Structure 1
Amino acid sequence: MNQENPEGHNAGLPTPAGPGGQQALALSRQQALSLDLRAGEPAADSDEINLLDYWRIIVKRRWTVLATLGIVVVTALVGTLLMTPIYRASTTVQIERDTIKVVEVEGFTPTESPADRDFYQTQYELLKSRSLAQRVISQLNLANDPVYLEMSRPSPWRALLGGGDDEEETLTAAEADSREDAKMSRMITGFLANLSIEPVRNSRLVRVHYDSPDPAYSQRVVNAVAEAYIAANLERRFDASSYAKTYLEDRLQQLKLKLEDSEKQLVEFAQREKIVDANDGSSLSTQSLGELNSAVAKAQDERIRAEARWRQAEAATGMGLASVLDSSIVQTLQETRAKLQAEYQDKLRVFKPAFPEMQQLKAQIDELDKQLGAEVANIKASIRAEYQAALAQEQLLKAQVGALKDEVLDLQSRSIQYNILKREVDTNRQQYDALLQRYKEIGIAGGVGTNNISIVDRAEVPTNKHKPRLALNLAVALLLGLFGGVLLAFVFEHLDDTLKSPEDVEKQMGLSVLGVIPMLKAPMTPAKALEDPRSAFAEAYRSVRTALQFSTDTGVPRCLLVTSASPSEGKSTTALTLAKNFAQLGKRVLIIDGDLRNPSLHRSLDKPNDIGLSNYLAGAAKATEVIHATDSPHLMFMPTGPLPPNPAELLMGPKMLSLISIASEKFDQVIIDGPPVMGLADAPILANMASGTLLVVEAGETRISLARNALKRLYAARAHVIGALLTKFSAKHAGYAYGYGGYNYYSYGAQPEPKKLARR
């Protein structure tokens, strides 16, 4: 650790007085090292957000917040009242999705999607286009309109800065045209700056707004914008339809010639190849082949049925065929035979078979059997004849089909080029018909009735101004002012690197805060405040006295040095008040004014400063000669005496250490009012000799770096710093709305007189 050597005197400092000097030396070195590490590292809990700390910052800087808020609000109020009233006229336009299809090809026709916003976004941009603005400016002749000229007149500031119109001068034609173009460009830019488009959500309506200081002018311009937009849309549609119509006429003429040429080639090829095309597009041979195929299938079916009957007739007996049974002749013969057979059986019971009548009946039955057999044979012969006829017909048809197949195959080989020519004719005819239909549609679409834009509500003359809106501007100013004020408060707080609260002292310096002394309001002085023992000021010092009694293991340090980092932090008042408080406890107290450069205790005690500590250290007086009694019992005072030219050399001499040792034995408490630490070697010398050092810090004034450097110097001098005392602390200024440490419960002279018990 690098130890400071202020003014070259600290190197020869003696060890701390009293027992435990080595322990104090080790402790001071450890504290100095920890202070160096703490100075180079951020706080451990710097990432944590403490809303209470933020609130305290806002309360502490409340006047900054309120001043910023007031300035912003007043500025907004004055600016709003001085602004020129602007009136907004609005018209509502309906835009439908209806586009012209010049060429429609199947499979490539675009379909409209509900989420498609490209069309409407295009229309919004057209409404804000420079060409439309130029058209309205020309139609209304705004360049010569008095209202527009008044609006475009340069402001006084612009005129003062030279931003007005140029003076008349002789210009060439090119320069004049260039200046006119620039003037028109400025007019269009200013026109569009006052024009706004507002699409109505979830609808096909668009509101067009125009702002200007003149209500009638706003209404006239916005209506002209809507009308010019509709007219421009119609012109674009008409130009597109005219171009499409001309294009389709040329294409129709080309396709017509191409169709005629392809049809001529088809007819010539058909005549040359002897190809006859039926109405359905097929040849006669193909149709005949199809008909013969149907006849062959039918003949084959008939032949199969006939063959099945013939096979059945061959396999069955004579009377087992269904055709035999269904024959009316067979049925008649069987009925007749059945009657004769019944008669024969009936007479057989009476006559013998050889009886002539019986033989006659038998002959009739046999004749009928012969007839039945002949009839069955005839039926079988007819079935066989049918089968043979069906087979012959089938074979004949198959022969004809074979011949036609050869003819069709030959025709197909000759019809390849024919089909190619025919498909080309069909394709050309379809294209021609489609373009002819589109040509007719374009002619209809080019009419005025196909406009997809219409005005729903025309603009009326506005009666209420659109801006400035006082309530809105004040609300925005209130929010911005509040935000800006809070932001400035945090910026000022961040830039303020002073020790403001006990937490700052403990966090930044690593010292225990033994007490907090409140700030006195003018014209209150410390002497007057101490006259009231119930005041917060007096109570705070009594709390410090109590804290000092528990600051070390042995109680209050026998010799206590009171010092600070810089002058005017309240160390002299602290030393004197603590001395009086200890004297009030009955202790014998000696207070020594050790500030040999700027003494002040003799004025506070109203004692002479002719002879004192400097005389004793120089050997010109004894200790008993420079110690004076005070008005307070048990309190003795040693002034500084004449200011020496070399205070550090006197304090480093053996007499100062001897004085402290003897005084510590003779008195119960020795308190030294030391000089500031920074810039002087006196305070480190006295801190090395004293048993304990109390560092006084002024709230809101002592910088963190200054306090740390002072503490490092004390540690380098092997001082035993027992804690810090925060003086001139204002709970309200520090952001503690309810006070700190209960000081708001005390007030100077505000406590009523205690009531006395009445004697009975």
Structure 2
Amino acid sequence: MGGQASDELNLRDLAGVLRARWRVVFLVFLICVIAAAAATALLPIRYFAAALVFVDVSRKDLLDPTYHTLNGNSESARVDSEVEILGSDGVLMQTIQSEVLVEDPEFNPPPGMWRRLREAAGEDVEPFSAETAAGLVLARFRDAISVHRRGQTHVISVGVRSRDAAKAARLATALARIYIANQLDTKIGNLRAARDIIAMQAEEARASLIRAETAFGRFVFDNLDEIVALSGRAELREKQQRIAALAAERLELANQLTALRERIGAQNRTVFAEAATFQPPKVTEPARFKLDEGDLTVALREQVSSMTAALDAAEISVATERQALASAVMTTTLPPHILAQLYGLQQAARNETANYQALLARSVDLETQASLQMADSRIVSAALTPANPSFPNVTLVLALSCVGGLGLGVISAFVLENMAGGFTSVEQMQSVLGQSLCVALPFEKRPLNGFSVAHAIDGSRSSAFVSAVQRLRTTVDVAQLKMAGAAQLQDATGRVTLVASSVAGEGRSTIALALARTYALSGMQVLIIDGHRGPGGVQRLLGVETASQMEDMSFKRWPTVEDFRAFALKDPHSSAVLVSARTDVPRPTLDPLIAAARQLFDHIIIDGPPVDEIVEGVGLPARADTIVVVARAGRTAQAKVLASIHRLSAFMQSATDPVVVLSQTPKARG
């Protein structure tokens, strides 16, 4: 059965479906928009504020501004690393502590409903620990922030979402500032850690220098007798004696200064003991130090100062004399083995001196850099208080709901059209049903006199409806030609055509009457069989209550022309005649009547009941040569039409294609 379904997309069909189902499209569209508006009104409002941080990735030395290196890959990796650092838990936790977010209901809300119900029920609910509470606040704050790099630039966007616009701007700026402060502290801490390491190395170098100088002086002193004997310079011994005298004087001054300080300490302890007897107020360490200094007499202070100055002068004198002695020894003519040792010791002292001086210079350099250090990142745009909420975006939500609602409405219209909707054009009908024999009958207004639109078929008028009925007749003939062949069709008489529909109200009786009149006006003998079980159908269109029951003749004898004339009702507008027949009459009773009608009439048109009322194996449909299935445009469900075609085809003895009629189509599309 049927031809091949068309794969082409007919825009007119699509427009027809939308026009027929515009109410469905509008209803779905309206529901989507209302749902989106309601959701927008119920969702909590969130404000978003963002600060912009610029990361200077160039490596620079503040004491040498011209020193820097640039590397594209390293720069990009550095910025990505800073993004991760900025969003790390450590920076977030510092921000939480700085802004006291643990007391903010937005980030540390009260216990949930389930917890409150358990507490109200008297259950012993363990309170959250400080670590757990801080973890919950951290998790909520982490969800509220947005840290990302702006494209491939060196700018990082630091954003915070909050229910309060001012709070969002404040937290975003605070997060950026804490990150920058941590970056600066890290840089300064690294420099000072390096300084401390170098200071330790400098102290070790100083000790090495002292050992080298001491070794040189000890060698000179230990070998001075031999040096004097070999060189003959007696003044070297005088220098040695002067150094020894200065060293003894320095030792005496040191002992006196130590004794003086012990005396001062004993005096202070006595003062504190007396003060303790009177139970004075508690004194802090700084106050105790001030008390020590305040209790020193002016004389003791001056004595300590003078002795300290004398000790320093003695140190300088000893060092000067030793240097002079070493210089004098080095200018003396000595044996090679002594000179080699002297030069070796002197060079070792010089190396230690150079190393010590370099470490001191580097330590001072690091301290200077630490004091002048600046962060590599800076805020180029502080977060501003947003004027409008970022969530929900009412404009975007409504726009998406409109687009989505329109699309969903169109989809719903097509789904409904395919599942429960009707056809809108012959092309669509051919494509869906796979039938090539399809005819469209345009909508025709009922005449003012109340008669059926089939009365337009009277041979005197011409209209779109009349032309469409004539095309229907031609299509029925084509269907019969496919079944019997041209020669048989030319000589054949008594062809039976069943006009059926899926449901009532499709215009089935009107089409049956119009088709019968078209055949009758061409000179054929036409019999119309009204197959309705009760009043209605063609009888109602002709204005009669009940026509004679055709099956009543079967109980007398084989019907003759006179019998049909006696029982039949003549159509006032053509030569066609009408009888009534029940479709539930058994075939053994009905077959003789149909066979007699075939001999007496050229064409028998059966106005059948809805397909659902047809019982398989009995009645008129089993004797039909051609089936005309009527479907009302935009109303009869496509699935019902397809099911009706399959059901009726199962009743037919011939394997001809049915003729499908799309009734009451708009005239513009007929």
Q: How does the TM-score come out when normalised to structure 2?
A: 0.61
Matched, 1:657 2:595: yes
Matched, 1:149 2:105: yes
Cα RMSD (Å) of the superposition?
A: 4.9
CA distance in 2 between counterparts of 1:216 and 1:674 reads 78
Question: What does residue 648 of structure 1 align with?
Answer: 587
Matched, 1:136 2:95: yes
Q: Is the 8 A contact 1:72 1:481 kept in 2?
A: yes
Matched, 1:474 2:411: no
**Equivalent residue letter for 2:373:** G
Matched, 1:626 2:554: no
Deviation at 1:725?
Answer: 1.9
Deviation at 1:219?
Answer: 3.0
Report % sequence identity: 22
Q: Is the 8 A contact 2:437 2:657 kept in 1?
A: no
**Equivalent residue letter for 2:395:** A
Question: What does residue 181 of structure 1 align with?
Answer: 131
Q: Is the 8 A contact 2:107 2:137 kept in 1?
A: no
Question: What does residue 407 of structure 2 align with?
Answer: 483
Partner of residue 580 from structure 2, selected from 620, 635, 639: 639
Residues 1:164 and 1:123: Cα distance change in structure 2 (over 3 Å): farther
Q: Is the 8 A contact 1:651 1:686 kept in 2?
A: yes
Deviation at 1:723?
Answer: 2.6
Matched, 1:544 2:472: yes
CA distance in 2 between counterparts of 1:432 and 1:111 reads 34
Question: What does residue 289 of structure 1 align with?
Answer: none
Report 1:539-578 matches (<5 A).
540-545=468-473, 547-548=475-476, 552=481, 553=486, 554=489, 558-564=494-500, 566-568=502-504, 569-578=506-515
CA distance in 2 between counterparts of 1:657 and 1:227 reads 103
CA distance in 1 between counterparts of 2:157 and 2:93 reads 20
CA distance in 1 between counterparts of 2:551 and 2:362 reads 120
Would you say how many aligned residue pairs link Structure 1 and Structure 2? 504
**Equivalent residue letter for 1:662:** L
Q: Is the 8 A contact 2:422 2:638 kept in 1?
A: yes
CA distance in 2 between counterparts of 1:258 and 1:494 reads 100
**Equivalent residue letter for 2:605:** I
Q: Is the 8 A contact 1:136 1:224 kept in 2?
A: yes
Partner of residue 441 from structure 2, selected from 500, 517, 520: 517
Report 1:78-97 matches (<5 A).
78-81=38-41, 85-97=45-57
Partner of residue 177 from structure 2, selected from 202, 205, 227: 227
CA distance in 1 between counterparts of 2:564 and 2:533 reads 17
Residues 1:200 and 1:437: Cα distance change in structure 2 (over 3 Å): farther
Matched, 1:718 2:646: no
CA distance in 1 between counterparts of 2:375 and 2:137 reads 30
Question: What does residue 543 of structure 2 align with?
Answer: 606
Question: What does residue 81 of structure 2 align with?
Answer: 122
Question: What does residue 71 of structure 1 align with?
Answer: 31
Deviation at 1:706?
Answer: 0.8
**Equivalent residue letter for 1:672:** I
CA distance in 2 between counterparts of 1:688 and 1:431 reads 121
Deviation at 1:657?
Answer: 1.0
Deviation at 1:247?
Answer: 5.8
Residues 1:697 and 1:44: Cα distance change in structure 2 (over 3 Å): closer
CA distance in 2 between counterparts of 1:203 and 1:644 reads 85
Residues 1:514 and 1:494: Cα distance change in structure 2 (over 3 Å): closer
Partner of residue 213 from structure 1, selected from 163, 174, 185: 163
Question: What does residue 372 of structure 1 align with?
Answer: none
Residues 1:153 and 1:45: Cα distance change in structure 2 (over 3 Å): same
Report 1:525-544 matches (<5 A).
527-530=451-454, 540-544=468-472
Deviation at 1:452?
Answer: 1.0
Deviation at 1:140?
Answer: 1.7
Residues 1:153 and 1:520: Cα distance change in structure 2 (over 3 Å): farther
What SS does the corresponding residue of 1:149 show, helix, strand or coil?
coil
What SS does the corresponding residue of 1:727 show, helix, strand or coil?
strand
Report 1:243-254 matches (<5 A).
243-245=193-195
Question: What does residue 403 of structure 1 align with?
Answer: none
Residues 1:70 and 1:498: Cα distance change in structure 2 (over 3 Å): closer
CA distance in 1 between counterparts of 2:417 and 2:624 reads 37
1:466-508, Cα deviation, whole Å (9 max, x unpaired): 4544433332332222233333334444545866542344345
**Equivalent residue letter for 1:572:** S
**Equivalent residue letter for 1:619:** K
**Equivalent residue letter for 1:137:** I
Instruction: Please list every run of 5 or more consecutive structure 2 residues that lacks an aligned counterpart in the other structure.
Output: 62-67, 212-351
Residues 1:536 and 1:213: Cα distance change in structure 2 (over 3 Å): farther
CA distance in 1 between counterparts of 2:19 and 2:355 reads 85
What SS does the corresponding residue of 1:515 show, helix, strand or coil?
strand
1:432-469, Cα deviation, whole Å (9 max, x unpaired): 99999987765555445232122233334444544544
What SS does the corresponding residue of 1:189 show, helix, strand or coil?
helix
What SS does the corresponding residue of 1:211 show, helix, strand or coil?
strand
Deviation at 1:613?
Answer: 0.9
CA distance in 2 between counterparts of 1:182 and 1:514 reads 76
What SS does the corresponding residue of 2:72 show, helix, strand or coil?
coil
What SS does the corresponding residue of 1:512 show, helix, strand or coil?
coil
Question: What does residue 615 of structure 1 align with?
Answer: 552
Q: Is the 8 A contact 1:563 1:696 kept in 2?
A: yes
Partner of residue 503 from structure 1, selected from 404, 409, 427: 427
What SS does the corresponding residue of 1:563 show, helix, strand or coil?
strand
Q: Is the 8 A contact 1:242 1:446 kept in 2?
A: yes
Question: What does residue 320 of structure 2 align with?
Answer: none
Residues 1:50 and 1:90: Cα distance change in structure 2 (over 3 Å): same
**Equivalent residue letter for 2:155:** L
CA distance in 2 between counterparts of 1:126 and 1:193 reads 16
Instruction: Please list every run of 5 or more consecutive structure 1 residues that lacks an aligned counterpart in the other structure.
Output: 1-30, 102-108, 262-427, 732-738, 742-760
CA distance in 2 between counterparts of 1:586 and 1:495 reads 43
Residues 1:259 and 1:526: Cα distance change in structure 2 (over 3 Å): farther
1:358-378, Cα deviation, whole Å (9 max, x unpaired): xxxxxxxxxxxxxxxxxxxxx
CA distance in 2 between counterparts of 1:255 and 1:136 reads 44
Question: What does residue 628 of structure 2 align with?
Answer: 694
1:57-104, Cα deviation, whole Å (9 max, x unpaired): 444443333222222233334444555554444333222115699xxx
Deviation at 1:110?
Answer: 9.8
Question: What does residue 250 of structure 2 align with?
Answer: none
Q: Is the 8 A contact 1:698 1:728 kept in 2?
A: yes
**Equivalent residue letter for 1:93:** V
Residues 1:677 and 1:657: Cα distance change in structure 2 (over 3 Å): farther
CA distance in 2 between counterparts of 1:581 and 1:539 reads 10
What SS does the corresponding residue of 1:674 show, helix, strand or coil?
strand
Residues 1:489 and 1:649: Cα distance change in structure 2 (over 3 Å): same
What SS does the corresponding residue of 1:450 show, helix, strand or coil?
coil
Report 1:259-338 matches (<5 A).
none
Q: Is the 8 A contact 1:557 1:691 kept in 2?
A: no
Q: How does the TM-score come out when normalised to structure 1?
A: 0.55
Q: Is the 8 A contact 2:454 2:511 kept in 1?
A: no
CA distance in 2 between counterparts of 1:615 and 1:459 reads 97
